[in-house]
Amino acid sequence: MAAGRAFIFIVILVIVCQVVAQSNQMTAGPSQIPLTLTVTDVFGQPIAGLTKDEIQISDGNQLKTIRSFERDTEPVSIGIVVDKSESANNLGYKKIAESLGSFVDRANEASEYFLMTFNESSVVLQDWSSDVSSLKKEFSSLTSITPKKNTKFFDAISFALSKFEAAKYRRKVLLVISDGADNRSKISLLELKKDLKRSDVCVYIVSPLISGQNRWDVLFFGDNIDTLVNITGGRSFFPYPNDVNEVFFSIAEELDHQYLIKIDQNVADGKWHDLKIKVRVRPEMKKLGDLKVRGRTGYFAN
């Protein structure tokens, strides 16, 4: 008899747990996917003042409902990675150091940074900190670091992505200064692309053009660079060394004019879902020409 009562009690307990779980699921609703969007005009200038009614996001043939939409002016977690391999030795580190100093001066004073260099290994010069004066001293040291022959570009980005696990802000940006060459990485380009798809880090890569550089190297490594940044909604730049400061200014401008939105995740099939993002331009904005919107190219529905 006691065993029978125990069995009935267990059955009732299981049923109650299922009901509670279903109730919680209905209350919580679907998971939400955060996306950071950058909208620019034909000249690459960021566009402010948009509303959620002007953004259209589709997952396959399904239009996604935008649950929240806001201009993101909060501090940012920014990782800065500088290539110190022989192939990148003529990028113009003095100018890069000066331009990075101006970049952090312009950013939200509460933003946090880490700084690392790489060649055949990755070295963290400063870990996460909002101490800009200390960071600037490390920028100045970039010119005195001895370059090494081998370069692990993919490994360096992979390592930098792992550091964002300790970042404290919801917007995460990785700024890489490199020619994109790689001859020793353990991780492949395909594996790195998968890592970037699973991360919520937006990647910008600045690759200053070197005098006398083989144009085939520029095309080959530039294609790798574009592939990586496009996945994350970031951007690549190939400036002449004297234009580096202007590039960092453009990146700072973009970070000041981004939109943070959330859309519903209606399935959890573990698969990659491509997203298409469009801007529906108001009549009075047509004078700006075709607007370009950048954001992550998709998400894993886990």
**CA distances for 161 relative to 23, 148, 232, 266, angstroms:** 37, 23, 12, 27
pLDDT at 16: 45
* pTM of the complete model: 0.88
pLDDT at 10: 53
Question: What amino acid is encoded at 68 in this protein?
Answer: S
pLDDT at 11: 46
pLDDT at 287: 75
pLDDT at 29: 54
pLDDT at 212: 53
Per-domain residue ranges of the chain: 30-72+266-300, 77-256
Angle subtended by helix axes 132-140 and 93-106, to nearest 10: 170
Torsion angle in degrees (nearest 10) through CA of 235, 240, 244, 246: -80
CATH, range 77-256: 3.40.50.410
pLDDT at 2: 55
pLDDT at 288: 75
- Where the chain has pLDDT below 50, the residues are 11, 13-14, 16-17, 19-21, 23-28
pLDDT at 213: 56
Contacting residues for 85 by C-beta, under 8 A, at least 6 apart = 118, 119, 120, 147, 148, 149, 150, 151, 181
pLDDT at 187: 97
